[in-house]
Amino acid sequence: MRYLGLTMTELHELYVSGKATPLDVVNEVIEALTKDKNNILEKTMYDEARSMAQSLTKVEKDNLLWGIPFLVKDNIAMKGIETTGSSNILNGFIPLCNAEVIDKLLAAKAIPVAKTTLDEFGMGGRGETGHKGITYNPYGKERTRIVGGSSSGSASGVASGYVPFAVGSDTGDSIRKPASFAGLVGFKPTWGEISRFGLFAFMPTLDHVGFFTRSVSEARVLFEKTRGYDKKDATSVMNVPFKTEKDATLKGKKVAVLEPIFALMKNKLLIKEFHNLVDKLRQAGAVVDFVPFDKDLLAAIFPTYFILSCAEANVSNACLTGIGFGNKEEGASYEEIVANTRGKGFSSRIKYRLMLGQYALKKENRNEYYDRAQKARRLIVEAVDKVLENYDVIMLPAAPNHAPTVDKQSEPHSEIENNFMAIANFGGNPSLTLPYFLDEGLPLGVNLTGKPFDDFNVLNIALKIEEITGLYNLHAGLKS
Amino acid sequence: MKYEVIIGLEIHIETKTNTKMFSSASSLFDAPANSNVSVVDMAFPGTLPTVNKKAVQNAIMLGHALNMEIDDELHFDRKNYFYSDLPKGYQITQQRRPIGSNGYLDIYVNDTKKRIRIERIHMEEDTAKQIHLGEVTLIDYNRAGNPLVELVTEPDLRSADEAMAFVEAVREIVTFLEISDGKMEEGSLRCDVNISLRPVGVSKFGNKVEIKNMNSISNIGKAIETEIKRQVNYLIKGLKLKVRHGGMTMPLKIQLQCVKKMKALIIDIFLKEIFYQFL
C-alpha cells in the first residue's frame, strides 16, 4: 500500500523523482480493485492499463496527469470496452469510439483502469438501481451506507483511495451529491465547457461531464485539461476567455446563502458547522449574506427536473431497440423485438420514468406538463441569475445529512433540501461540492454554485474554503 | 351536385450535400449497402448530432426562392416513434419552428397565373432503406440521416393540372439552385398528395385522403384524377369518406389501405413492455 491514497500531485512527485513508475502504481491499484467490497466495478481493463503504464517511460514534468490511474463512470463510451450504463439492455455493447473527455485524458497519458457502476443510465440518486445492485460507501461500517448516485462507483472508488480521480456525469446532482456523501471534491463545470460526446444522453440540456477528486486544485487541473470546443459536440463552447486569477483571495468575494433552503436543514451539527464556516469566510474578508428566494420556485425545482428529465430520457433512450445494436431479444416482428428488448432490458424503475416521460410528451399533455416545466425552468434560472448578479457564488450544504444507511427508506424524492442542486443544471452553472466537516467520521459537503463561465472563480473560492477546513485528500478504507 | 377539389402537397426534397444532415458520413446512399454509416447515424449511445451547414444553406436558398420568411434562429425537435428504419427512435425535424414559413409560388396553368401559398419548409433527416425479402427485412443505413427539406403547401390547389404544374415549378427551382437533382424516379424529390372534395359553395373541408410517395409528375396527375373519381362516387352514393392514408404502387393500380401510422405504435409498445414485465 505504498501508492494508494495518494493525490495526483503526490504521485507525480514520485514519478518525477523516479521513486515509482506508472506500472508500480497501476499494479497496486488493480490489486486493490480486485479486493473491493463496495460493488463499484463494471468492465475492468487491467491488461490495457498495465500495457499503457508500461509504455510510459519518459515522465512529463509539467503534466500532472501523466501516468495517473483513474476510473470512468460506465455511461461514458470507451472504444472497445464494454459500456452498459449499468443497464441490462446494453450488456455486451462495445462502443466504436471514445468519449471526447476520455480521448483528452488519454492524450494527457492518464490511465483508465476500470468502468464503474451507476444508477441505471444515471436515473437515480442513491446508487442502488444499476444492474449490479447497490454500490456502497467506503465510509462507516462495511457495506452499510449508500454512496449516493448516480455516479456511485466513481465516488466510492476515489473515496476508497484506489485512484486519485474518476470521471462522472451530472444531470441533477449526480456528481455533487455523492461527493458530499463520500468526502470528495465533485466538480461539474459550466455546460458546454467539457464536450459531452460519448456521454450516454439522459437529458441533453442538463447533462454534464465532471470529476471526482480529493482536492480542489486537482479538479482544476482536470478541468483545464479537458475543457474546450469539440466539433463532435455542437453544444461545446468556442472561444470562451480563459479567465483565471492568480493569488486568489477571499477578500471582497460575495457569497449568498439561500435562506429558505438553509432553513430546511435540521441536523444541528450541520447548522453549527455551516455557521462556523460562514464566520471563517467573513474573517477572511468575504461577504456572506443570507438572501431570500421565492419559495414557490424552490418547490418547483423537483417537479420541473422530474418532468423534463423523464420526458427527454424517454426520447434519448428511444435508440435502445435491439435492432441496430445492444442486447437484442427475439420476436416475430420488429414491434415484438423492440417490445421484448426494452421490456426485458430496462428495469421497472426505468420503465416507470420513461412512461411518465411519454405521458408528459403526449400531444394532449405536452402543454400542461413539458412546456410548463420548461417555463418553470426558465423562471428558476432567472431567479438564480438574479442572485448571482450580486454574488460570486451561492453556498449551501450539499445534503441535509451524511450518507444514509442502505436499509433506511429512501426519503421522499421531492424534498427541496435533497434536490435543490439541480438549479445548477437548469442554468448550466459551474457547481462544486467539497467536504467541510465530519460527523462521527462521516463526511458532509458544502456546495458552491457560480455564474456560467465563471468556473475559475468558483474553483478559487473552493480552494480557499479547503484551506479553511483543512479537509484535503480525505479517503476511507485504506487504514491498514 | 358539383364538387370542388381541394389539394395540398407535401414534397420531400433530398438536398445535395457531401455529408449527412447530422453526421460526417457521406450522403451518397447509392454506395454498397451500409458503407456510408457513422456511429451518429446508428444512434450509438453517447453520439451527438451536429448540423450540416450546407444543408442549412440549401434550405435557406429554397426559402428565399419561395418568398418565405426565414427564421433567424435554428430550432430542431425530436419526433419520437419506433420503426425499424429509424435507428434513433426519433427523427430530428423542425416541428415547432420551421426554417421557412409563409411563402408562395406563382404557377401557370393554361397561361393563367395562380398564386399557391406555402405554409412551411423545414429540414429533417431521412430514414434507413428497408428491403423486405419474404420473412426477412434487410436494413441499409446509407440513407439514414440524409438531409431532407419538406415543403408543405396550403390547400390552395384545385386540380390535377395545378398540382402537376406546382411540382414541376418546384423541381425547376431546386435544380436551378443546384440544391437537389430533383429526380422523382430516384426518390430525390418525393410527393405526398392530400386530397378532399366539397360541394361547391361549402366552406368546410371534406375528409381528406393522403396518397404517398408519388414518383413521377404524370403519376401525380393520374393518381389525383383516379382519387377524384373515387371520392365523387362515394359522395354521390351519400357515403362518408374516412380519413385515410394510402400508398401507391407505380403502375397506379391499387391504392393500399391505410399504411399503419407508426406514431400510434409508441404507446402500444410501451404498454406491451409493462405487460411483459408484470406477466
* ipTM of the complex model: 0.90
Helix (H) or strand (E) holding A334: helix A334-345
Is the predicted pLDDT of residue A294 greater than 60, yes or no?
yes
pLDDT digits (tens, 9 = 90+) for A437-455: 999 899 999 999 999 999 9
State the pLDDT at residue B205.
84
Using an 8 Å CB-CB cutoff, list chain A residues near B270: 351, 354-355, 358
The gap from C-alpha B208 to its chain's centroid, in whole angstroms, comes to 16
Contacts of A296 (CB under 8 A, 6+ apart): none
Nearest-10 Cα torsion for A129, A131, A132, A137? -20
Residue B217 located in a structural domain? yes
What is the mean pLDDT of the segment spanning A326-332? 87
Cell 465563471 belongs to residue? A454
Residue B139 located in a structural domain? no
The burial class, CB within 10 Å (0-12 / 13-18 / 19+), for A246 is exposed
Helix (H) or strand (E) holding A100: helix A100-107
Residue B81 located in a structural domain? yes
Instruction: Residue A244: name the closest of A456, A465, A463 by CA.
Output: A456
Q: What is the CA radius of gyration of chain B?
A: 20
Q: What predicted TM-score, i.e. pTM, was given to this entire model?
A: 0.91
- What are residue B107's phi and psi, to 5 degrees? -115, 160
Among B45, B80, B269, beta carbon nearest to A339? B269
Q: Distance (Å, rounded) from C-alpha B66 to C-alpha B58? A: 12
- What are residue A388's phi and psi, to 5 degrees? -75, -10
Residue B40 located in a structural domain? no
Cis preceding-peptide flag for A150 (omega within 30 of 0): yes
Using an 8 Å CB-CB cutoff, list chain A residues near B82: 318, 321, 335, 338
CA distances from A390 to A251, A329, A457, B142, B148 (A): 15, 56, 14, 53, 47
Instruction: Say how many CA atoms lie within 13 Å of B145 toward its Cβ.
Output: 31
Could you tell me the pLDDT band of residue A176, with boundaries at 50, 70 and 90? very high
What is the domain count for chain B?
1
Q: Are strands A287-291 and A254-258 parallel, antiparallel or unpaired?
A: parallel
Cell 354521390 belongs to residue? B236
Among B39, B80, B266, beta carbon nearest to A96? B39
Q: Distance (Å, rounded) from C-alpha A15 to C-alpha B29? A: 52
Q: Distance (Å, rounded) from C-alpha B27 to C-alpha B24? A: 9
Which grid coordinates are listed for A226? Answer: 479537458
State the pLDDT at residue B244.
57
The runs of H, that is alpha helices, within chain B are 53-65, 160-176, 217-236, 265-278
Does the beta carbon of B258 lie under 8 angstroms from any beta carbon of chain A? no
Residue B38 located in a structural domain? no
Residue B20 located in a structural domain? yes
Question: Rounded mean pLDDT of chain A?
Answer: 94
Does the beta carbon of B89 lie under 8 angstroms from any beta carbon of chain A? yes
Q: Are A462 and A432 in contact (CB under 8 A)?
A: yes
State the pLDDT at residue B129.
87
Contacts of B239 (CB under 8 A, 6+ apart): none
Q: Distance (Å, rounded) from C-alpha A240 to C-alpha A238? A: 6
Contacts of B30 (CB under 8 A, 6+ apart): B142
Which residues on neighbouring strands pair with residue B149, listed in sequence order?
B13, B123
Is the predicted pLDDT of residue A165 greater than 80, yes or no?
yes
Which grid coordinates are listed for A109? Answer: 497519458
- What are residue A166's phi and psi, to 5 degrees? -145, 155
Does the beta carbon of B139 lie under 8 angstroms from any beta carbon of chain A? yes
- Would you report the helix, strand and coil content of chain A in percent, each value rounded to 5? 40, 15, 45
Among A234, A319, A321, beta carbon nearest to B45? A319
Q: Are strands B69-70 and B100-109 parallel, antiparallel or unpaired?
A: antiparallel
Domain that holds residue B157: 3-28+49-128+145-276
Considering only residues B211 and A172, tell me which one the structure prediction assigns the higher pLDDT: A172
Does the beta carbon of A342 lie under 8 angstroms from any beta carbon of chain B? yes
Instruction: Residue A77: name the closest of B39, B116, B170 by CA.
Output: B39
pLDDT digits (tens, 9 = 90+) for A357-373: 999 999 899 999 999 99
Chain A: closest CA distance from residue B68 (Å) = 27
Which grid coordinates are listed for A387? Answer: 442572485
Closest residue, chain A, to B139 (C-alpha)? A324
Q: Distance (Å, rounded) from C-alpha A14 to C-alpha A272? A: 40
Q: List residues of A with catalytic annotation.
A: 73, 150, 174
Considering only residues A175 and B260, tell me which one the structure prediction assigns the higher pLDDT: A175
Q: Which of B47, B131, B139 to mutate: most A Cβ within 10 Å? A: B47
State the pLDDT at residue B261.
33
For chain A, which domains are there? 8-250+396-469 (3.90.1300.10)
Chain A: closest CA distance from residue B54 (Å) = 16
A95–B270 C-beta distance less than 8 A? no
Q: Kindly report the number of other CB atoms within 10 A of residue A377's CB atom.
A: 23
- What are residue B263's phi and psi, to 5 degrees? -55, -40
Which grid coordinates are listed for B233? Answer: 362516387
Among B43, B83, B276, beta carbon nearest to A339? B276
Residue B43 located in a structural domain? no
State the pLDDT at residue A478.
55
Q: Is A241 left (phi over 0), alpha (psi -120 to 50) or beta?
A: beta
State the pLDDT at residue B253.
28
Largest distance between two CA atoms of chain A: 72
Contacts of B18 (CB under 8 A, 6+ apart): B26, B27, B54
Contacts of B90 (CB under 8 A, 6+ apart): A315, A318, B78, B79, B80, B81
A320–B276 C-beta distance less than 8 A? no
Strand order in the sheet with A69-73: A41-44, A111-116, A69-73, A165-170, A208-213, A185-188, A431-439, A442-450, A393-397, A254-258, A287-291
**Over chain B (279 residues), what is each successive 10-residue block's mean pLDDT?**
90 95 87 88 94 96 97 93 91 95 96 96 93 82 94 96 96 96 90 90 84 87 89 78 51 29 34 32
Does the beta carbon of A275 lie under 8 angstroms from any beta carbon of chain B? no
Using an 8 Å CB-CB cutoff, list chain B residues near A197: 46-48
Is the predicted pLDDT of residue A473 greater than 50, yes or no?
yes
Using an 8 Å CB-CB cutoff, list chain B residues near A93: 45
What is the mean pLDDT of the segment spanning A384-413? 88
Q: Distance (Å, rounded) from C-alpha B129 to C-alpha B87? A: 11
Residue B62 located in a structural domain? yes
Instruction: Residue A443: name the closest of A91, A206, A86, A185 by CA.
Output: A185
Q: Is B200 left (phi over 0), alpha (psi -120 to 50) or beta?
A: beta
pLDDT above 70 coverage of chain A, percent: 96
Q: Distance (Å, rounded) from C-alpha B138 to C-alpha B115? A: 44
Q: Which of B41, B266, B270, B279 to mutate: most A Cβ within 10 Å? A: B270
